Amino acid sequence: MRCFDTAKIYVKAGDGGRGMVAFRREAFVAQGGPYGGNGGNGGAIYFEADEGINSLVGFRKKVHHRAEPGGNGGGKKMQGSDGRDRTVLVPPGTVVRNSQTGEVIAEMFAHGHREMIIPGGRGGRGNASFKTAKNKAPQIAENGEEGMEMWVEMELRLVADVGIIGVPNAGKSTLLAGVSNAKPKIADYPFTTIVPNLGVVERDYARMVFADIPGLLEGASEGIGLGFEFLRHVKRTRVLVHVLDCTSKDVMDEYEAIRNEIHLFDPEVGEKPEIVALNKVDASEEAATRALELQEEFRDFGIDAHVVSALDGSGVAELVTATKKALDALPPVDYEAEARAAEARRGTVARAADGKELSDFEIVDDPYAFYVKGAAIERFVQMTNWDYFESFKRFAQVLKMSGVEQALNSAGAGEGDRIVIGKYEFEWSRDNRTGALYESWKAKMDEKPAGTTQQGSRHWPHAAG
Ligand SMILES: Nc1nc2c(ncn2[C@@H]2O[C@H](COP(=O)(O)OP(=O)(O)OP(=O)(O)O)[C@@H](O)[C@H]2O)c(=O)[nH]1
Ligand SMILES: [Mg+2]
């Protein structure tokens, strides 16, 4: 079964720009201070609900969505430019989940609702930012933080005011086509409609959105048949139009079956105002007579039932008028409150390393290497620019301060063992005197092919420790 109301896409925030190492060189300034600017921040990924879009089908063609990286810092303390944000437009009613964890990260209900999904990577600091009383001429700068990437799953929950429900073949799609501009699939066998159709109905200068809810049948609330998927769509409608086929032998049984399903699925949905359409009265004399009897029966229950023919349109205008009256009687939807409530229901998307300490890590080893796993230490390593010896020394310092060095030594890491932190791999050495550090840094720099940078290289080993 193909379903067009879900999609899976890849989003990535922009990487932060690299910080620069530069020194002031001006006539009459004898000892120029550090003058390297910070990198700009990467662009963020935003989602925005737009009523001009009514399905997720377009995301089949466009799967990857990336925000712009930040610019690198320049000399004269020039800050790199911030990367442009990327906004992904989705139809109102889209629920966005982290596809790995299943966690809901945004609910895009009202038109215009805009939300940041992933923050951009932070710009790396240039050497001007590293100046201290002790080190007046730092030769150190950071890489920008990598922008987070994520696969997200989107599901379109219809935002329809009116849900058309009924057993298969009752005439739901025919009714939707009759009242609105929609062109649903209509055929003389059950389950023609497997994707909910939406139709916009204009009445008295007001707009109502009708949804043709397909495939409701007994057992649907337990996930049997097609029903369960679509029952979810009924949730957000405000009024139900229940279509009955008067040519059927057991109209009342069918009515009860659907009511039971809805009630089992969600009692709250069962509480929504319901209007009954006694359909197909044009089909035969019997159907017309039966319709009038049924109308009486419903009246006894206090239910407003309309005799209609979705096919030739008789009674349909009155049905729409009654539907509008039922809608108008309900309190208006407070979309802003809904958006606030939705936001309160979930946590904010934070950078993985935010709020984490460098000392929050664990050591995992296998025959290949010792892995140091911790969001903050991984970010630190990723942002280290190995081109500068001072960065390398700072790295060695951080390994000591955070307790990583001690943990690796206790775990049995020995001379020449492989250490992996995030995407970077190192060779372990217990000798961490400055001279030894410098030798190993220099050896690796010389080894590096000319013209390459270390950015993004997975296996550029360094001695450290
Ligand atoms: N005579 C007559 N036939 C109708 C009427 N309404 C629908 N039909 C016919 O009934 C059959 C089913 O109609 P649909 O509108 O596809 O029914 P549905 O409820 O959407 O069915 P599913 O999508 O399969 O659940 C089609 O052959 C329609 O032409 C009506 O008012 N009179
Ligand atoms: Mg249908």
Whole-complex ipTM: 0.99
Q: Whose CA is nearest to atom 8 of ligand 1?
A: 171
CATH of domain 362-464: 3.30.300.350
C-alpha distances (whole Å) from 126 to each of 40, 137, 139, 183, 337 are 11, 12, 9, 59, 43
What is the structure's pLDDT at 458? 34
Residues with CB under 5 A from ligand 2 (ion): 172-173, 192-193
**Percent of the chain as helix, strand, coil, to the nearest 5:** 30, 20, 50
Yes or no: say if 359 and 155 are a contact pair by the CB < 8 Å rule. no
Q: What are phi and psi of 263, to 5 degrees?
A: -65, -40
> What pairs with residue 306 in β-bridges?
277
What is the structure's pLDDT at 332? 76
Instruction: Using most ligand atoms within 8 A of CB, pick from 164, 185, 186 the residue to mutate for ligand 1.
Output: 186
Contacts of 187 (CB under 8 A, 6+ apart): none
Q: Residue 182 C-alpha to ligand 1 middle, in angstroms?
A: 15
Q: Which residue bears the tokens 């001690």?
A: 406
Per DSSP, the three-state class of 50 is: coil
C-alpha distances (whole Å) from 276 to each of 233, 249, 251, 419 are 19, 17, 12, 69
Residues in the chain: 465
Buried b (16+ CB within 10 A) or exposed e, 342-356: beeeeeebebebeeb
Q: Residue 259 C-alpha to ligand 1 middle, in angstroms?
A: 20
Closest by Cα among 385, 455, 375 to 422: 375
Each residue's pLDDT tens digit in the chain (465 positions)? 234 578 999 999 999 999 999 998 876 666 778 999 999 999 999 999 987 887 888 898 899 999 999 999 999 999 999 999 999 999 888 889 999 998 889 888 777 889 999 999 999 999 999 999 998 899 999 999 999 999 999 988 756 789 999 888 899 989 998 888 666 666 665 555 555 577 778 777 677 888 887 655 545 555 555 455 566 667 778 999 999 999 999 999 999 988 888 888 778 888 999 999 999 999 999 999 999 999 999 999 888 899 999 999 999 999 999 999 999 999 877 767 766 776 676 656 778 788 899 999 999 999 999 999 999 999 999 999 999 999 999 999 999 999 999 999 999 999 999 999 999 999 998 887 888 889 988 988 888 765 544 443 333 334 443
Q: Whose CA is nearest to atom 9 of ligand 1?
A: 171
Q: Which fold has domain 162-338?
A: Rossmann fold (3.40.50)
Pick the CATH number of 6-156 from 3.30.450.20, 2.70.210.12, 1.10.10.10, 1.10.8.420: 2.70.210.12
Q: State which ligand 1 atom lies nearest to the alpha carbon of 191.
A: 24
Q: Residue 170 C-alpha to ligand 1 middle, in angstroms?
A: 5
Buried b (16+ CB within 10 A) or exposed e, 44-70: bbbbbbbeebbebeebeeeeebbbbbb
> What pairs with residue 241 in β-bridges?
164, 275
Q: Whose CA is nearest to atom 25 of ligand 1?
A: 168
Q: Residue 187 C-alpha to ligand 2 middle, in angstroms?
A: 8
Ligand (nearest to CA of 216): 1
Yes or no: say if 72 and 114 are a contact pair by the CB < 8 Å rule. no
What is the structure's pLDDT at 32? 77
Helix (H) or strand (E) holding 324: helix 316-328
Q: State which ligand 1 atom lies nearest to the alpha carbon of 186.
A: 16
Q: State which ligand 1 atom lies nearest to the alpha carbon of 170.
A: 19
Spans of all domains in the chain: 6-156, 162-338, 362-464
Q: Residue 188 C-alpha to ligand 1 middle, in angstroms?
A: 6
What is the structure's pLDDT at 231? 64
Yes or no: say if 376 and 357 are a contact pair by the CB < 8 Å rule. yes
Q: Residue 356 C-alpha to ligand 2 middle, in angstroms?
A: 52
Ligand (nearest to CA of 282): 1
Q: Residue 241 C-alpha to ligand 2 middle, in angstroms?
A: 14
Instruction: Using most ligand atoms within 8 A of CB, pick from 1, 173, 180 the residue to mutate for ligand 1.
Output: 173
Ligand (nearest to CA of 243): 1
Ligand (nearest to CA of 175): 1
Q: Residue 163 C-alpha to ligand 2 middle, in angstroms?
A: 12
Q: Residue 157 C-alpha to ligand 1 middle, in angstroms?
A: 25
What is the structure's pLDDT at 456? 37
**Cα separation, 414 vs 203, whole angstroms:** 79
Q: Whose CA is nearest to atom 11 of ligand 1?
A: 188
Ligand (nearest to CA of 187): 1
Q: State which ligand 1 atom lies nearest to the alpha carbon of 279.
A: 31
Give the tokens for residue 335.
Answer: 């979309």
> What pairs with residue 153 in β-bridges?
8, 97
Q: Residue 223 C-alpha to ligand 1 middle, in angstroms?
A: 24
Q: Is the pTM of this model over 0.90?
A: no
Q: Which residue bears the tokens 């497997």?
A: 194
Residues with a CB atom less than 6 Å from ligand 1: 166, 168-174, 186-188, 190-193, 214-215, 279-280, 282-283, 309-311
Ligand (nearest to CA of 242): 1
Q: Residue 308 C-alpha to ligand 1 middle, in angstroms?
A: 12
